Amino acid sequence: MTTLINSPDPRPDTNPARTFGIEEEFLLVDPATGHPIPVAELALSRAAKRSISDMGPVLTREVQQEQIEAVGPVCTTLQELEAAVRDGRAMADEAARSVGARAAALATSPFLTSPSMVPLPRFQLMADRFGLTFREQLTCGFHVHVGVVSGEEAVAVLDRIRVWLPVLLALSANSPFWQGRDSGYASFRYQAWNRWPTAGPCELFGSERGYRRHVRSLLTTGVLVDEGMVYFDARLSSTHPTVEVRIADVCLDPSHAAAIAAMVRALVEQAARDWEAGIRAPRVSAAQLRLAGWQASVAGTEGQLLHPVLHTPCPAADAVEALLSHIRPVLAAVGDEGPVSRELTRILSSGTGSRRQRDTMAGSRNLAAVVADAVEVTHGMQAAEPLKGQP
Q: Do residues 373 and 319 make contact, with C-beta atoms less than 8 angstroms apart?
A: no
- Number of domains, the chain: 1
- What burial letters (b/e) apply to 188-217, b meaning 16+ CB within 10 Å? bbbbbbbebeebbbbebbeebeebeeebee
C-alpha R_g of the chain: 19
Q: What is the pTM of this model?
A: 0.93
Residue 159, in any domain of the structure: yes
Residue 391, in any domain of the structure: no
Give the structural domain span for 67.
Answer: 20-378
> Which DSSP state fits 74?
P
Residue 297, in any domain of the structure: yes
3-state DSSP assignment of residue 203: coil
Residue 331, in any domain of the structure: yes
Report the CATH number that the domain containing residue 323 is assigned in CATH.
3.30.590.20
Amino acid found at 242: T
Q: What CA–CA distance (Å, rounded) separates 140 from 71? A: 13
Residue 10, in any domain of the structure: no
- List the chain pLDDT tens, one digit each, 391 residues: 333 333 344 443 334 589 999 999 999 999 999 999 999 999 999 886 654 445 789 999 999 999 999 999 999 999 999 999 999 999 999 999 999 999 999 999 999 999 999 999 999 999 999 999 999 999 999 999 999 999 999 999 999 999 999 999 999 999 999 999 999 999 999 999 999 999 999 999 999 999 999 999 999 999 999 999 999 999 999 888 999 999 999 999 999 999 999 999 999 999 999 999 999 999 999 999 999 999 999 999 999 999 999 999 999 999 999 999 999 999 999 999 999 999 999 999 999 999 999 999 999 999 999 999 999 999 986 544 444 444 3
Q: Which positions ≥6 away from 34 have C-beta within 8 Å?
A: 110, 111, 367, 368, 369, 370, 371, 372
Residue 330, in any domain of the structure: yes
Q: Do residues 191 and 145 make contact, with C-beta atoms less than 8 angstroms apart?
A: no
Q: What CA–CA distance (Å, rounded) separates 62 from 161? A: 27
Residue 262, in any domain of the structure: yes
Residue 4, in any domain of the structure: no
Amino acid found at 336: D
Q: What CA–CA distance (Å, rounded) separates 237 from 17? A: 19
First to last CA, the chain: 31
